[in-house]
Chain A
Amino acid sequence: MGEIKLMKGNEALAEAAIRAGMQAYFGYPITPQSEVIEYLAREEPKHNYVLLQAESEVAAVNMMYGAGGAGGRVLTTTSSPGFSLMQEGVSYMTCTEIPGVFANIVRGGPGLGTIQPSQGDYFQAVKGGGHGDYHVIVLVPNSVQEMADHVFLAFELADKYRIPALILSDGAIGQMMEKLELPDPVPYKPNKPWATTGKTKDRERNILTSLYIKSEDMEIKNIHLQKKFREIEANEVRFDEYKTEDAEVIITSYGLTSRVAKKAVDIGREQGIKLGLFRPITVWPFPKGRIAELASRDDIRFFISIEMSAGQMVEDIQLNVCGKKPVHFYGRMGGIVPTPQEILDTVQSHLKE
């Protein structure tokens, strides 16, 4: 049984990283996630990790590249404008196959935007974000407990597949306090024979590069990456369902809005509307298969995606429902969180259609 604590989401993430054997953190302060680097700075004397406040997010991600490539278990955290700056490095790490864990505690955008919570960075997270054909693993916690749990999972998956893993959260989950059970520390035993640790006599030199100047070589590299992405899609899809067994309406929602949507399901059912909630826990790989299964069920009338965006995940829902059912959307932008009543009102209006 782990230690029970009352913590902010950002602090839970930081403490979990220490317990998951993080060896280095590189980051640049940005609201609403600066608690992570502050927490790690306070705790640093008690532990053996590297903590470095970089001169920019661009530098931070490249420090991740260097330290992760040298075999370290590395973390950075940022918020939307900062994650945009990191995209160059994420693309390079994906091609070079350097593992590392990122957290984007999303705030409202575009531009400098607002420091309030948002889910407006879904496309950037799920569809690549930087240049080239790639994906990173994207976990979407909806509680302080999951902010901690997903750090362990993200490190494990990043190392297993030699890929960046992203925790895509938002300013509300990062800032709010909840009770959680902290996972017990796990000793990190690196097994990275590909890392640049110094060429010993018993092996060839290790070169970490994303440069394949011949088109044929670049295509081979891409085919290798795509094969890995398919393997991750086959093995690492995670999702959660609430009262979907007999539901007539499936609400799809992740992260903070899934908590609001769950409340809407309960209120709706008290009023006799058979609502159910489908919550992706990984948005890449996306739970395509399960969405397609639900779409084939005769008793389901429609899907509605609830997001703090102008409608981003809804496109992945539509792709996998594949025209079998109507797919609706309700969202708020700019840092506003939809209420259960707003969700219910929208569902009611579509039921009358």
Chain B
Amino acid sequence: MKEGYELIYQRPKTLTDTRMHYCPGCFHSTMHKLMMEVVEEMDLQENTIGVCPVGCSVFAYEYMNIDVQEAAHGRAAAVATGIKRIHPDKLVFSYQGDGDLAAIGTAETIHACNRGENFTFIFINNGIYGMTGGQMAPTTLVGQKTSTSPYGREPAKVGLPLKMAEIVSRFGRVAYVERVSCNTAANARKAKKAVRKAFEYQLQKLGTTFIEVASNCPSQWKCTPEESLDWIKDHVLPYFPLGVFKEPEKKEK
């Protein structure tokens, strides 16, 4: 580094140099970075095992410089359960999209949460199936057009969008649930804080920690990255409100 300069920001060593394949504006890139920054800041690279899903983030292991297992579609919670039971002292997370966590893998998600499996869910909810080409997700908003709901989601036919953060916060052994977004810089900073809290609670063995990210998909929402941020503010957040749904009680000092 040049003399007189102070390094104040750089790529974390927990991210590889591989160029990400994600579309411009996609929150996957942001979330990967935030999570890997937390892993580095907490000095947990040697003690972290990730589980990646099927979906756009199927290649997440290309970018995260940690040990990773790639799970079958929907089974990340079961895979993470297996890893965590063998290594109860390591940091384990499952990184999943809405089709993975809230459709094909609902049973695995619900039961892992009910058991209070001591790992962290990072749930990327963008209300659409990105990788398979923009089909309807369990979290697609009412009236939202997708390739399998071309006239808009009809609740009478397919029900209402699933509110996973609200659902899992009801389980007694789930410790911490927060819904965050990355649609503004301020919200992205809050998202990173939430990831850090989740990892800290996990290391304290308090139970399941669950971060839902109100995410975007400019490509399949057929809009620009900037427009996708507006869509989140105007349509997604009114239905999927941000905030903490559950948190361990703070011990009095």
Partner-B contacts on A (CB < 8 A): 23-24, 26, 50, 52, 54-56, 58-60, 62-72, 74, 88-89, 92, 96, 196-201, 205-211
Instruction: Please name all residues of chain B whose beta carbon is closer than 8 Å to the beta carbon of A69 when the two chains form the complex.
Output: 69, 79, 82-83
Instruction: Please name all residues of chain A whose beta carbon is closer than 8 Å to the beta carbon of B68 when the two chains form the complex.
Output: 196, 205-209
When the two chains form their complex, are residues B65 and A199 in contact, meaning their CB atoms are under 8 A apart?
yes
Complex CA–CA separation, A208 to B61 (angstroms): 9
When the two chains form their complex, are residues B51 and A66 in contact, meaning their CB atoms are under 8 A apart?
yes
Chain A, interface SS category: mixed
Instruction: Please name all residues of chain B whose beta carbon is closer than 8 Å to the beta carbon of A70 when the two chains form the complex.
Output: 49, 69, 82-83, 86-87
Complex CA–CA separation, A63 to B84 (angstroms): 10
User: 8 Å CB contacts to A: which residues of B31-55?
Assistant: 45-49, 51-52
Partner of A205, one of B66, B82, B83, B87: B66
Complex CA–CA separation, A70 to B107 (angstroms): 23
A293 CB, nearest partner CB in chain B, Å:
42
Partner of B46, one of A55, A67, A199, A211: A199
Instruction: Please name all residues of chain B whose beta carbon is closer than 8 Å to the beta carbon of A198 when the two chains form the complex.
Output: 45-49, 66-67, 87, 90
When the two chains form their complex, are residues B72 and A200 in contact, meaning their CB atoms are under 8 A apart?
no
When the two chains form their complex, are residues A89 and B70 in contact, meaning their CB atoms are under 8 A apart?
no
Cβ of B180 < 8 Å from any Cβ of A? no
When the two chains form their complex, are residues B86 and A199 in contact, meaning their CB atoms are under 8 A apart?
no
Partner of A196, one of B45, B49, B59, B78: B49
When the two chains form their complex, are residues A65 and B61 in contact, meaning their CB atoms are under 8 A apart?
no
The verdict on A23 contacting B108 (CB below 8 Å), with A59-B75, A199-B67, A208-B68 known, is: no
Instruction: Please name all residues of chain A whose beta carbon is closer than 8 Å to the beta carbon of B86 when the two chains form the complex.
Output: 23-24, 50, 66-67, 70-72
Partner-A contacts on B (CB < 8 A): 45-49, 51-52, 58-59, 61, 64-72, 75, 78-87, 90, 107-108, 111
Partner of A199, one of B66, B69, B75: B66
The 6 A-B residue pairs with the shortest CB-CB distance in the complex, in nearest-first order: A66-B82, A67-B82, A62-B78, A209-B70, A66-B79, A63-B82
B247 CB, nearest partner CB in chain A, Å:
26
B52 to chain A: closest residue by CB = A209
Q: Can you identify 12 A-B contacts, CB atoms within 8 angstroms?
A: A52-B85, A59-B111, A60-B78, A62-B108, A65-B82, A66-B81, A66-B84, A70-B86, A198-B45, A208-B69, A209-B70, A211-B58
Partner of A197, one of B58, B67, B82: B67
Complex CA–CA separation, A92 to B14 (angstroms): 27
A195 to chain B: closest residue by CB = B67
B47 to chain A: closest residue by CB = A198
16 additional A-B residue pairs with CB within 8 Å, beyond A74-B82, A197-B90, A209-B69: A23-B86, A54-B78, A58-B108, A59-B111, A62-B79, A62-B82, A63-B82, A64-B82, A66-B71, A66-B80, A66-B86, A69-B69, A205-B67, A208-B68, A208-B70, A211-B70
The verdict on A24 contacting B70 (CB below 8 Å), with A59-B111, A89-B75, A198-B47 known, is: no
Instruction: Please name all residues of chain B whose beta carbon is closer than 8 Å to the beta carbon of A92 when the two chains form the complex.
Output: 72
Partner of B79, one of A23, A50, A63, A72: A63
When the two chains form their complex, are residues A59 and B49 in contact, meaning their CB atoms are under 8 A apart?
no
Complex CA–CA separation, A92 to B51 (angstroms): 14
A23 to chain B: closest residue by CB = B86
Instruction: Please name all residues of chain B whose beta carbon is closer than 8 Å to the beta carbon of A26 when the two chains form the complex.
Output: 82
Partner of B78, one of A23, A59, A71, A201: A59
Instruction: Please name all residues of chain B whose beta carbon is closer than 8 Å to the beta carbon of A62 when the two chains form the complex.
Output: 71-72, 75, 78-79, 82, 108
A190 CB, nearest partner CB in chain B, Å:
10
Instruction: Please name all residues of chain A whose beta carbon is closer than 8 Å to the beta carbon of B79 when the two chains form the complex.
Output: 62-63, 65-66, 69
Complex CA–CA separation, A330 to B112 (angstroms): 47
A97 CB, nearest partner CB in chain B, Å:
12
Complex CA–CA separation, A313 to B192 (angstroms): 58
B89 to chain A: closest residue by CB = A198
The verdict on A209 contacting B61 (CB below 8 Å), with A196-B69, A200-B46 known, is: yes
B87 CB, nearest partner CB in chain A, Å:
6
Instruction: Please name all residues of chain A whose beta carbon is closer than 8 Å to the beta carbon of B87 when the two chains form the complex.
Output: 70, 197-198
Instruction: Please name all residues of chain A whose beta carbon is closer than 8 Å to the beta carbon of B46 when the two chains form the complex.
Output: 198-201
When the two chains form their complex, are residues B81 and A52 in contact, meaning their CB atoms are under 8 A apart?
yes
Instruction: Please name all residues of chain B whose beta carbon is closer than 8 Å to the beta carbon of A88 when the two chains form the complex.
Output: 72
A47 CB, nearest partner CB in chain B, Å:
14
Instruction: Please name all residues of chain A whose beta carbon is closer than 8 Å to the beta carbon of B72 when the two chains form the complex.
Output: 62, 65, 88-89, 92
A93 to chain B: closest residue by CB = B72
